[in-house]
Amino acid sequence: MRIRNVVILFTVMLLVVYGSLISTIAATQINQVDVTEINGIVKSIEKDWADGAAKKSGTVGTMSYQIALVGDANYQALLFDGIKNRQTIIDLTESAADGQLELLGKIIFQADGSEEVAVKRRLLIIVTITFLIVSMMVYAVLGLVHRSILRPFGVMKEFARKIADGDLEFRLPMDRGNYFGAFTESFDLMREELRKARQGEYQANISKKELVAELSHDIKTPVATIKAICEVLAIKLATVKTADLPALTAARTLTESIEKIAVIDAKADIIDALISNLFHATLEELEMLKINSSEQASTVIMQMFKDIDNFGKIQFKNDLVECLIFCDPLRLSQVIDNVISNSHKYAKTDIDIWFNLDKIEKNLTVKIKDYGAGVDPDECPLVCEKFFRGSGQTVQNTPGSGLGLYLARQFMVGMGGNLRCYNEDGFVVELRIKVV
Amino acid sequence: MENTILRAEMLSKTYSNGSIMQHVLKNLNIEIAEGDFTVIMGSSGSGKSTLLYALSGMDKPTLGTIDFRGEEISKYNNDQLAIFRRKHCGFVFQQIYLNDTMTVLDNIMISGLLVSRDKKTIASRAKELLHQVGMDDTCYDKYPSQLSGGEAQRVAIVRALINAPEIVFADEPTGALNSTNAVNVLDVLTEVNASGQSIIMVTHDIKTARRANRILYLKDGVIIDELSLGTYVKDDPKRHGRLREFLESMGW
């Protein structure tokens, strides 16, 4: 029950009790004198007095009387006693010979005390009941105040202590019925927001770490390519310098070297783009690697393979169907770089590529296959998981972060496609690219 | 499809302006059967005319292949394409493009002489065709300025048909004509189609589209749906209703 209602009830009850008390007292009549009866008794006594049969005291009906004669020695004492006790006193007279009334004494009617006692008892009962009711109401209000105000305060105190201790899972029980319901709800909302903020901070920290790890990995891939090309260039140019090569061979070597320099330039561009990503991410604190997909000619894929084919191991087993695909060229080239680099790192075999266009499903599948040991069949579903590295000897003996295929799949999914890995006389990575 | 005369696979056309690329046609797969009267519809900028020009060899696709009777014409160089167009295609445009300094007969014959040297045969075929399209002998020596819009367009159609092309490509052929002339021109094209020549036509006009037995609807460079209407029957309310319903469902 709400306190307001209790107060209203309490007030109403007080008024009712007060009203009934007042009306009871007002209606109570104590020692009211019945004049007619007294006159009757006085006339009867005066008649008896004249007949000489009167007694000095007696009782008529409910009224008892006593006669104090003027000549009595205690006349005054009886009179004063009667006055003191608020008794009814009537003159006792006798008609004299001259027709005048002669005072014989006083008839003192004694008051009945039982009525007073009854009134006293009744008042006592009413006062006692009133006191009990008022006491109960006071206790009820106190109980309500305790339940509605003091106890919620205690819970909030405990809640504040738990929050201060960092326990954001502690839920504040809510009771919209009492005055603190809204407060407790607000406090609980504060806790919820605080919990979310803390979770967000935690996620942001994790994301930041992952982002740095991902970008580091992405930057490492083109750097590795550049290093490899530099080594090839160093050997080739050294040969041109030192050996007395025929002009045609020297010219070809130089042409090839210029091509390699173009690849270095392209990779440097990728690193530049990745560093831009990193810078952007630092600025916005929490910004995952963006994928900006657009409609591109499928021929870009061929160029990507050519750019990464530093060791001349890639062979195309069928023609690429020219069509428009949906991809982010930077991300797709990272995917292809990752997959081919993995083959170079772990399999060191030829790499065959098949293209298959599914016009119904609108997918272009690029199957990239090497002829290495593949991965443990049990580990196949896991190779695209974050930080997962195969248990094979070659994998364990080769440095790596376990992020390459994870990122590759993230990028492919982000571009509306997918990436699938399986063993088939070697290791196969299938890239499914969305066709416009 | 049986009797495929023209097939496009994953046809795309991209225009680039600096680093901005606009893909006007996107991975279109189309087969045109011999004797088809195909109408290409779609809102402005949806790529209708680009598709017509790519299919006819007037423009080269950026990606994909087009083959004509099994021969991949998308690989042709410009000279090969010019020969292909002369021998196998006829063109009718909204703008009539008759040579103002030449008579009607000369305008038609000059196209025929690009393919054959037999002047006599060409002249007699031109006259026969002119008769077929409702032009009498008096028009032979008229100049284009002496012709009405409908007559000029009929002459242009005869010019397009002079080399007996297997496919006639028409880009809004009735766009500049009044309704009577438009009906005459469409009647001519319907007759041409009935005689076995395939027609691929771009139009915005629902009355023109009724003549087709197949409607392709293009949106943002993609064929979003097509409707097969069957052989043209004049004043067929059911056919008209189906076409209207189809176009309404396309948001036309």
Q: Quick one: tokens of A298?
A: 């499928």
**A300 contact B CB<8A:** no
**B43 contact A CB<8A:** no
What is residue B104's predicted lDDT score, i.e. its pLDDT?
95
A46 or B217, greater pLDDT: B217
A372 pLDDT higher than 70 = yes
The model's pLDDT over A382-404, given as tens digits with 9 standing for 90+, comes to 888 887 888 888 787 777 777 78
Closest Cβ–Cβ partner in A295, A322, A359 for B26: A295
B198 to chain A, closest Cα gap in Å:
26
A301 to chain B, closest Cα gap in Å:
14
- Tell me if B26 sits within 8 A of B49, measured CB to CB: no
| Residues of A (350-369) whose Cβ lies below 8 Å from B | 357, 359, 362
Query: A86 to each of A121, A157, A218, A417, B206, how far by Cα in Å?
Result: 21, 68, 118, 116, 124
What is residue A280's predicted lDDT score, i.e. its pLDDT?
58
CATH classification of B4-249 is 3.40.1160.10, yes or no?
no
- Tell me if B109 sits within 8 A of B186, measured CB to CB: no
Q: Compute chain A's Rg from CA coordinates.
A: 58
Task: Give A242's pLDDT tier (boundaries 50, 70, 90).
Answer: low
**Which residue in chain A is spatially nearest to B22 when comparing CA positions?**
A295
Q: Quick one: tokens of A73?
A: 């020695």
What is residue B12's predicted lDDT score, i.e. its pLDDT?
95
What is residue B208's predicted lDDT score, i.e. its pLDDT?
92
CB pairs under 8 A between A and B: 38
CA–CA distance, A293 with B114 (Å, rounded to integer): 48
What is residue A286's predicted lDDT score, i.e. its pLDDT?
36
Instruction: Indicate whether this complex's ipTM tops 0.85.
Output: no
CA–CA distance, A218 with A275 (Å, rounded to integer): 10
- State the DSSP code for A320: P
What is residue B202's predicted lDDT score, i.e. its pLDDT?
96
A272 pLDDT higher than 80 = no
Q: Quick one: tokens of A27?
A: 């209606």
What is residue A56's predicted lDDT score, i.e. its pLDDT?
82
CA quadruple A308, A311, A316, A317: dihedral sign: negative
**Which residue in chain A is spatially nearest to B64 when comparing CA positions?**
A322
CA–CA distance, A145 with A143 (Å, rounded to integer): 5
A220 pLDDT higher than 80 = no
A389 to chain B, closest Cα gap in Å:
39
* Cβ pair B23:A299 closer than 8 A: no
What is residue B107's predicted lDDT score, i.e. its pLDDT?
95
B57 to chain A, closest Cα gap in Å:
18
Query: B179 to each of A283, A332, A384, B176, B208, how far by Cα in Å?
Result: 65, 54, 65, 10, 10
Q: What angle do CA A406, A408, A414 make, to 5 degrees?
A: 105
Which of A333, A334, A254, A267 lies closest to A301, judged by CA? A333
The model's pLDDT over A95-152, given as tens digits with 9 standing for 90+, comes to 777 778 888 889 988 766 666 777 788 888 888 888 888 888 888 888 888 887 788 7
* Cβ pair A359:B29 closer than 8 A: yes
Strand-pairing partners, residue B157, are: none
- At B245, the amino acid letter reads E
A270 or B215, greater pLDDT: B215
CA–CA distance, A366 with A73 (Å, rounded to integer): 146
| Residues of B (59-118) whose Cβ lies below 8 Å from A | 62-65
Of A13-17, A238-242, B154-158, which gets the smallest average pLDDT?
A238-242
A17 or A343, greater pLDDT: A343
Q: What is the DSSP string of A101-151?
A: EEEEEEEEEEP-THHHHHHHHHHHHHHHHHHHHHHHHHHHHHHHHIIIIIH
A284 pLDDT higher than 50 = no
**B29 contact A CB<8A:** yes
CA quadruple A164, A165, A170, A173: dihedral sign: negative
- Tell me if A229 sits within 8 A of A264, measured CB to CB: yes
* Cβ pair B27:A435 closer than 8 A: yes
Which of B172, B169, B171, B142 lies closest to B155, judged by CA? B142
**Which residue in chain A is spatially nearest to B14 when comparing CA positions?**
A297
Mean pLDDT of chain A: 82
**B27 contact A CB<8A:** yes
Q: What is the model's pTM? A: 0.59
Q: Name every chain A residue with its beta carbon within 8 A of the beta carbon of B9.
A: 321
The model's pLDDT over A295-326, given as tens digits with 9 standing for 90+, comes to 999 999 999 998 888 778 899 999 998 999 99
**A299 contact B CB<8A:** yes
- At B58, the amino acid letter reads M
* Cβ pair A322:B63 closer than 8 A: yes
Which residue ranges make up each domain of chain B?
4-249
**Which residue in chain B is spatially nearest to A362 when comparing CA positions?**
B27
- Tell me if A72 sits within 8 A of A81, measured CB to CB: no
Mean of pLDDT values over A235-250: 72
Candidates B19, B25, B27: best to mutate against A (most CBs of A within 10 A) is B27
A43 pLDDT higher than 80 = yes
Per-residue pLDDT of chain B (252 residues; tens, 9 = 90+): 668 999 999 999 999 887 788 999 999 999 999 999 999 999 988 999 999 999 999 999 999 999 999 999 999 999 999 999 999 999 999 888 899 999 999 999 999 998 888 999 999 999 998 988 888 899 999 999 999 988 999 999 999 999 989 999 999 998 878 888 888 889 989 988 998 899 999 999 999 999 999 999 999 999 999 999 998 888 889 999 999 999 999 987
The model's pLDDT over A203-218, given as tens digits with 9 standing for 90+, comes to 888 877 777 777 777 7
* Cβ pair A324:B27 closer than 8 A: yes
What is residue A111's predicted lDDT score, i.e. its pLDDT?
66
Candidates A321, A322, A327: best to mutate against B (most CBs of B within 10 A) is A322
